[in-house]
Structure 1
Amino acid sequence: MDANRSLVAVSFGENRTKGDKDAAEWMPPTKGATCTYATDCVATKLPWKLTIDRAETKALRAVAARCRNTSVNFASAQ
């Protein structure tokens, strides 16, 4: 699967807090981690052509507006 990004290990409590929530419903509590999380989210969804609903798009755009010098490069997985 040749992915440059992967899952990030977190504490049990953080994992339970996030659950199956998307970016519209959950962001990392550490402010410095939001850009990385949002970038990883987009970088994972784009190659696999996974859907992003309006609320998640809005949340990711809001985070992206605060992220300087961040880009997502991807190649289709299929």
Structure 2
Amino acid sequence: MPPAKDATCTYATDWTAAKLRWQLTADRAEAKAKAKALQRIAKSCAEATVQHKPAP
């Protein structure tokens, strides 16, 4: 996570959009760790929206 608190929502939405855009998978450990972290972060990012375009 970025050290600047005001960058947390941007980082989380950008990370999620990149995973979706490139159809990246996650191994079991990453999925478990990231899912919990993203759920915790999302609670403070009510205004954030993940936008992505599928990769060509």
State the TM-score, normalizing by the size of structure 1: 0.59
State the TM-score, normalizing by the size of structure 2: 0.77
Q: Give the share of equivalent positions with the same residue, in percent.
A: 50
Q: Which runs of 4+ in 1 moved over 3 A?
A: none
Which residue of the partner structure matches residue 16 of structure 2?
Answer: 42
Aligned-residue RMSD, C-alpha: 1.3
Which residue of the partner structure matches residue 39 of structure 2?
Answer: 61
Structure 2: 5+ residue stretches without partners? none
* Greater Rg over alpha carbons, structure: 1
Say which structure is richer in helix: 2
Residue type of the alignment partner of 1:54: K
Paired positions, count = 52
More contact order relative to length (CA 8 Å, sep ≥ 6): 2
Distance 1:61 1:75 in 2: 23
